[in-house]
Amino acid sequence: MRNHFHLKTLAVAIATLSIASVTNAAGLDRSGQDVTAFLQDGTYAEAAYTYIDADVSGFDSANNNPNDNSYAKGAATGDIAEAYDFFRYGVKTDINDTFSIGVLYDEPFGAAAEYTDSNFVSQGDLDASVAGITNGAAPSLAAAQAGIAALAPGEAAGALTDEQQAQLDGLRGAVGIAQAEASTAGENTNVEVRSQSLTGLLGMRFGANKNFQIYGGPVAQRIQAEVKLRGLAYGPAAGYTSTSNPEMDYGYIAGLSFSKPEIALKAALTYRSEIDHELQISENYPIRAIASGGALSADQNAKYEVTTPESVNFDFQTGINATTLATAKVRWVPWSDFSITPPLYNDVSKGTYGPDGLNLLDYDDDQWQVELGLAKRLAPALAVSGTVGWDSGAGDPTTSLGPIEGYYSAGLGAKYNVTDEWAISAGGKYLWFGDAEGRLPTGKIAADFQDNEGYIVGLKLSYQDIN
């Protein structure tokens, strides 16, 4: 039994790290949409599991006035990042020396965050809520209502000064927000986004030595989301809830690769298209019913569109000597083009923020991710690998539902060949997250997050027959 590595297949030793590519550091990116399983020689199959645990904590803003965007350090948020895991599968085989086929499954996009402390949690105390929103100007609900009753006759007669009108509007807004807050007493701000993707691939090699390959195929993608905005931090949006039901839609993948087996060189450039989803969404927005005196419902069911972003991945490897392989990965995702705009949320916001209203979620910058690695064969059946990486993030300030501006990472992995064909790989990464301010859709800075970190671990079982 040989039970050893060939240089041209040594790249598989680092694949366990590529499955643990990203957390929610940039936009909603999770898996990194890796396609290297399809680029392996011969018949190849893998099943991989990734677990991600991040510690993301900071401080909310002591300023709860929705009309004042200034930040003032408030209470500790606690850890808002929920641990999550996902799977990836892939299988590929050569039909002949020209054509290859494969199928890949991954979970490309997602989010998992929950606030359990601070003013991102609904307290349900009407008096405390009014006082918090008005910075103590009206210390109780009764005082705020008395202030409204005293000023309202002057408004009807057109006798209020601009300052008095602003005071009246502020008191009315505070009472409405407090009532919305009370309707969800004790609940936490929470977001969960899940996606699944199935990619079919057909590759064709060409050139004098079959060194080049073009590949592509259809992509089926399913996405769903649930969002709960709670606490005084969200102002008029406090109490908002939406559930987007799972929906399957389609896109495509296309790529070009080059290989030179005698020096273990492989390079691949892969493009994935954006995918337009039409989702059925159920929304509940308490302030809508409160502000209209019950004339308008707080609930709405409708359809809306979400477009998951396109991406470009570049994968590269080359042998340094008979036992050592160098690798590089680069990924680009235009998160600045992405947004989530639920119809009821958007419609309610138009009254205050103009004819276009607000997006529930969007980003300022595009994501760039770079990872460099080395893999080394230590024994006939054992190889180890190490990586360093950088992720640009998608802007700062960024959404309060994912307040990280990129990361730096360092990882280690190992692969053991149990037989000539079967191997087990394991690896992990440590991540140092970039500091970020948590911004609301209104532009208000609601929290500040610094000195956070996380880790990723992965386990993979793979099969390869290159005979």
pLDDT at 14: 42
Q: What is the mean pLDDT of residues 222-246?
A: 88
pLDDT tens readout for residues 170-188: 666 666 676 667 667 778 8
Q: What is the mean pLDDT of residues 352-364?
A: 89
Bridge partner list, 354? none
Q: Using pLDDT thresholds of 50, 70 and 90, give the confidence band for residue 255.
A: very high
User: Do residues 281 and 262 make contact, with C-beta atoms less than 8 angstroms apart?
Assistant: no
pLDDT at 343: 94
Least confident of 168-172, 262-266, 413-417: 168-172
What does DSSP assign to residue 310? P
Block residue for tokens 């499954």: 105
Greatest mean pLDDT range, 65-74, 111-120, 254-263: 254-263
Nearest in space to 406 (alpha carbons), one of 6, 92, 138, 27: 27
- Going by C-beta distance under 8 Å and a sequence separation of 6 or more, which residues neighbour residue 278? 247, 249, 303, 304, 305
- Per-position DSSP letters for 93-113, written without gaps between them: EESSSSEEEEEEEE--B-EEE
Q: What is the mean pLDDT of residues 199-227?
A: 95
Q: What is the mean pLDDT of residues 49-53?
A: 90
Q: Using pLDDT thresholds of 50, 70 and 90, give the confidence band for residue 5.
A: very low
- Going by C-beta distance under 8 Å and a sequence separation of 6 or more, which residues neighbour residue 413? 13, 14, 16, 17, 384, 385, 386, 387, 425, 426, 427, 428, 458
What does DSSP assign to residue 117? S
Q: Is the pLDDT of residue 379 over 60?
A: yes
pLDDT at 307: 95
Angle in degrees, CA 440, 444, 450, rounded to 5: 75
CA distances from 54 to 114, 196, 243, 263, 453 (A): 12, 22, 25, 38, 6
Q: Is the pLDDT of residue 135 over 90?
A: no
Q: Coil, strand or helix: which one is 266?
A: strand
CA distances from 80 to 181, 311, 322, 435, 437 (A): 20, 28, 46, 14, 14
pLDDT tens readout for residues 335-349: 999 999 999 999 988
pLDDT at 18: 46
pLDDT at 25: 58
Q: Using pLDDT thresholds of 50, 70 and 90, give the confidence band for residue 134.
A: low
Structure tokens at 452: 């956070």
Nearest in space to 195 (alpha carbons), one of 28, 74, 19: 28
Block residue for tokens 């610094």: 450
In this structure, the strands spanning 43-55 and 84-94 are: antiparallel
Alpha carbon dihedral 204, 207, 210, 212, in 10-degree steps, equals: -60
pLDDT at 369: 93
Percent of the chain predicted with pLDDT > 70? 83
Nearest in space to 19 (alpha carbons), one of 352, 374, 460: 460
Q: Is the pLDDT of residue 280 over 80?
A: yes
Q: In degrees rounded to 5, what are phi and psi of residue 393?
A: 75, -175
Q: What is the mean pLDDT of residues 298-317?
A: 93
Mean of the per-residue pLDDT values of the chain: 84
User: Do residues 111 and 402 make contact, with C-beta atoms less than 8 angstroms apart?
Assistant: yes
Burial class (CB within 10 angstroms; exposed 0-12, middle 13-18, buried 19+) of 186? exposed
Q: Is the pLDDT of residue 129 over 90?
A: no
User: Do residues 3 and 419 make contact, with C-beta atoms less than 8 angstroms apart?
Assistant: yes
Q: Is the pLDDT of residue 86 over 50?
A: yes
Give the burial string for 206-239 (b: 16+ CB within 10 Å, else e): eeeeeeebebbbebebebbbebbbbbbbbbbbbb
Q: Coil, strand or helix: which one is 451?
A: coil
Least confident of 19-28, 216-225, 420-429: 19-28
pLDDT at 173: 67
pLDDT at 106: 92
Q: What is the mean pLDDT of residues 66-89?
A: 86
pLDDT, greater one: 352 or 39: 39
Q: Is the pLDDT of residue 204 over 70?
A: yes
pLDDT at 1: 39
What does DSSP assign to residue 303? E
Within 10 angstroms of residue 250's Cβ, the number of other Cβ atoms is 13
H or E segment to which residue 38 belongs: none
pLDDT, greater one: 393 or 8: 393
Go through the domains of the chain in sequence order and give each one's CATH number: 7-113+188-465 (2.40.160.60), 123-183 (no CATH)
Structure tokens at 7: 């240089």
Q: Using pLDDT thresholds of 50, 70 and 90, give the confidence band for residue 24.
A: very low
pLDDT, greater one: 215 or 155: 215
Q: pTM higher than 0.75, yes or no?
A: yes
Q: What is the mean pLDDT of residues 57-71?
A: 84
Q: Is the pLDDT of residue 104 over 50?
A: yes
